[in-house]
Structure 1
Amino acid sequence: MTMNCSAEGLDAAVSLFRSLSDGTRLAIVRRLAGGEARVADLVSELGLAQSTVSAHVACLRDCALVTGRPEGRQVYYSLARPELLDLLASAEALLAATGRAVALCPNYGAELSGE
């Protein structure tokens, strides 16, 4: 595997991982990995406010990770790129391989963020 280590390539990678670093956005991505959904569906399933879900979906859409399919007055959102599923699967494999090391990280661990 070759990674683009240029400043531009690293900046893009940082932006990608930042877009996925928020728990709400990651929950939305994980839900959309199972199939398309409307904001109303996401609100119901995630138990969050409509304005919160809409803002996070807009962020994911602006990052070209999520796309919307209008149908009448509704918009059905889905993952824009199948590679995102591969990234999530790789992240899960990495988490399984490292055990709780990432969760216990003194800088970014779950204990610091209150999760």
Structure 2
Amino acid sequence: MAELYRYHRPVTMRADAVSTSKGPGLPVSETAALSAAACMFRSLGDPARLAILRHLSLGEHKVVELTAHLGLAQSTVSAHLACLRDCGLVTSRPQGRASLWSLTHTTALLEALAAAERLLAATGDAVALCPTFGEAANL
């Protein structure tokens, strides 16, 4: 669990743990840290958002370019970009009347996605077949 948080050192995995240390003298609730991790995973939990992140790993793109590449509506792409921006994963800069979107933490994000791919390879089809979170659960 320590790998997920650069400054977080979990004391225990008990639900009643109240604090750990984050940086010099700043107490951090373990529950809050785990909740933040869950929020991050939820932000990555949509195939369209993952496709956007993967495409942005190639470089900056305008919304119109993302919609053409992904075959999604402009409003859908814009909504997903807003979510990813609010999570701190992407940023934009103006270019004329458009905006160019890019990843904010490219190396860390690509490392996390590579780790997810390794974990998926290790578990085989278990995640896809999971009755709670697998592909059939989304129907």
Q: TM-score, normalised by structure 1?
A: 0.91
Who is 2:38 aligned against? 14
Who is 1:71 aligned against? 95
The number of residues matched between the two structures is 114
Q: Once the 2 structures are TM-superposed, how far is the Cα of residue 32 of structure 1 from its aligned partner?
A: 1.0
Who is 1:104 aligned against? 129
Matches within 5 A, 1:23-34: 23-34=47-58
Q: TM-score, normalised by structure 2?
A: 0.76
Question: 2:94, 2:122 → 1: CA distance?
Answer: 40
Who is 1:56 aligned against? 80
Question: 1:15, 1:39 → 2: CA distance?
Answer: 24
Superposed CA RMSD: 1.4
Unaligned residue ranges in structure 2 (runs of 5+): 11-29
Who is 2:105 aligned against? 81
Tell me the amino acid that sits aligned with residue 54 of structure 2: R
Question: 1:87, 1:105 → 2: CA distance?
Answer: 22
Question: 1:94, 1:69 → 2: CA distance?
Answer: 34
The structure with higher relative contact order (CA 8 Å, sep 6+) is 1
Question: 1:103, 1:34 → 2: CA distance?
Answer: 27
Q: Once the 2 structures are TM-superposed, how far is the Cα of residue 51 of structure 1 from its aligned partner?
A: 0.5
Q: Is the partner of 1:67 in helix, strand or coil? A: strand
Unaligned residue ranges in structure 1 (runs of 5+): none
Question: 1:86, 1:80 → 2: CA distance?
Answer: 13
Q: Deviations over 1:36-92 (max 9, x none)?
A: 111001100111110111011011001110011211212111111020111001001
Which protein has the larger Cα radius of gyration, Structure 1 or Structure 2?
Answer: 2
Q: Is the partner of 1:102 in helix, strand or coil? A: helix
Which structure dedicates a bigger proportion of its chain to helix?
1
Percent identity over paired residues: 56
Structure 1 outlier segments of 4+, above 3 Å:
none
Tell me the amino acid that sits aligned with residue 38 of structure 1: K
